[in-house]
Structure 1
Amino acid sequence: MTSHSESPVAPADPGHRASVPTRRTQRERTAQAEQALLDAAETLFAERGIDQTSLADVGQLAGYSRGLVSHHFGSRAALVERLAERIQNRFVTELADADLIDTDMDAVEVLAQFVEDYLTAMVGHAQTGRAFLVMWGAAIPADAALRPVFAIDDARFRLGTQTLLRAGQANGTVADSVDQEATAAVVVGMVRGIAAQYLIAPKAFDLPTAARTCRQFLRNSLSPQRDDRPT
């Protein structure tokens, strides 16, 4: 059995200044443990689902005890919330910061590129995408503890889309007739639905073609008619 105690150290060469390993701070050790636990939870949720994963399972896969999982997160619901936040930030931070985009950008092209990138990321990191969609689905029941978590995350996603559409209407790259709120809901549903279908049955359709079709759909639906563009 491997021991974690220190190994004997040979006497140092008087002419050689030995390097002293940098000790990690408590904060660094805590952050490392939290990320390892979240990684383990992501793996297990993607493989088994939430209900079939216990805190003990998460701790075991991460190499820690169940007690440490409880110490870091308190409950499985809190663990799920933290993981959902991490994954959502990974996928939608770019769109949430859409108000920082240059005012002269073509908002339709920015949104179309984001949709394509989102789909690529969701399936390119299939385990992460699957874990996210498992958690998102678990928020649907009326009494689900996750409902508030995903309601906030989805609202953030829609708000980023609305902000981008508003900027596009201001600079003439999005038609004035476009309803920002309804379109944002359609965009979220489009990317989540396509990603879910692909993760369930990846051979059912060609994802790059679906992504290009989304881009064309957004151009046709959101761009102003040629006669309406500012001169």
Structure 2
Amino acid sequence: MTTRQLNGHQVRSEKSTRLLLRAAGELVAEGGYQSMTLATVGERAGYSRSLATARFGSKAKLLEALVDEIVGRWSVETMEPELQGLSGLDSLRVILQGIRNAYGRRPDSLSVLYALIFEAAGPVPELHDRFVEFHLDQRERISSHIRNGLADGSINEGVDPDALAAMIVAQLRGVGYLWKLDPDSIDATAVLNTFIDQVLQRISAEPHPREAAS
């Protein structure tokens, strides 16, 4: 096989893998992990019923690849390049606003994330362990930016980084749960706007406009 043929094969393989993972995410979002099968993933992606089995080997391996893709996409770590040179307070603002913006920009991907999070509370140990790790990582990264803010003076002294990070992640998950359960019952963007403003105002070491004017 020539180099050109190998490159063409790799491109096709990567494309089919993306489509299989997208199909798996759609099926999980629609009916849950338990109802998803390798055969239906292949069909939904527009391929044969056997391709997902040939590509991933098992449903567990497909799930692992899907979780890695989704978690990687939504990790706070992916925002790190945007945070260079910012204060701890401004870094936290960018992170929270990025999560808020996802409800308008990437609702399908967000829906898959929350479908997987819900499944992680059930009898799927590989999901449980992966999302425990995911949430710990999110809390640690958020708390690190709060610590930076304490060090650079942009965040008030006395703020507990770990406690605040835990509260922030819990609030984000609560909004996401209500949005996933009944999207018409909550304006997630508006709720998060209020939450972000309240958190930043409470911890900011900078004088608030009203205080500065007095």
TM-score class, shorter-chain normalisation, is 0.7 to 0.9
8 A contact 2:88–2:148 mirrored in 1: yes
State the partner residue of 2:212.
Answer: none
- Alpha-carbon distance in 1 for matches of 2:124, 2:33: 16
Please give the per-residue CA displacement for 1:70-100, whole angstroms capped at 9, x wherever unaligned: 2322222222222122122222245663796
* Segment drifting more, 198-207 vs 149-158: 198-207
- Alpha-carbon distance in 2 for matches of 1:87, 1:179: 30
Q: Which of 170, 175, 178 lines up with 1:189 in the alignment?
A: 170
Unaligned runs of 5+ in 1: 1-21, 227-231
State the partner residue of 2:133.
Answer: 152
8 A contact 2:20–2:41 mirrored in 1: yes
- Alpha-carbon distance in 2 for matches of 1:186, 1:53: 33
More helix by share: 2
* Segment drifting more, 38-47 vs 88-97: 88-97
Q: Which has the higher contact order (CA 8 A, sep 6+)?
A: 1
> Is residue 2:105 matched to residue 1:124?
yes
Larger gyration radius, structure 1 or structure 2: 1
TM-score, L = length of structure 1: 0.77
Please give the per-residue CA displacement for 1:129-179, whole angstroms capped at 9, x wherever unaligned: 111111111112366221121122222212221221121111011223222
8 A contact 2:83–2:94 mirrored in 1: no
Percent sequence identity is 26
> Aligned in 2, Cα 1:142/1:45: closer, same or farther, shift over 3 Å?
closer
SS of residue in 2 equivalent to 1:141: coil
> Is residue 2:65 matched to residue 1:88?
no
- State the Cα distance separating 1:58 from its structure 2 match: 0.3
State the partner residue of 1:48.
Answer: 31
State the partner residue of 1:39.
Answer: 22
> Is residue 2:199 matched to residue 1:218?
yes
- State the Cα distance separating 1:224 from its structure 2 match: 3.3
Unaligned runs of 5+ in 2: 208-214
State the partner residue of 1:109.
Answer: 90
RMSD: 2.5
8 A contact 2:29–2:112 mirrored in 1: yes
- Alpha-carbon distance in 1 for matches of 2:58, 2:101: 32
- Alpha-carbon distance in 1 for matches of 2:92, 2:78: 8
* Segment drifting more, 64-73 vs 131-140: 64-73
- State the Cα distance separating 1:214 from its structure 2 match: 1.4
TM-score, L = length of structure 2: 0.82
SS of residue in 2 equivalent to 1:32: helix
* Segment drifting more, 125-134 vs 68-77: 68-77
- State the Cα distance separating 1:198 from its structure 2 match: 1.9
State the partner residue of 1:198.
Answer: 179
Amino acid in the other structure paired with 1:206: D
> Aligned in 2, Cα 1:201/1:100: closer, same or farther, shift over 3 Å?
closer
For this pair of structures, how many residues does the alignment match? 203
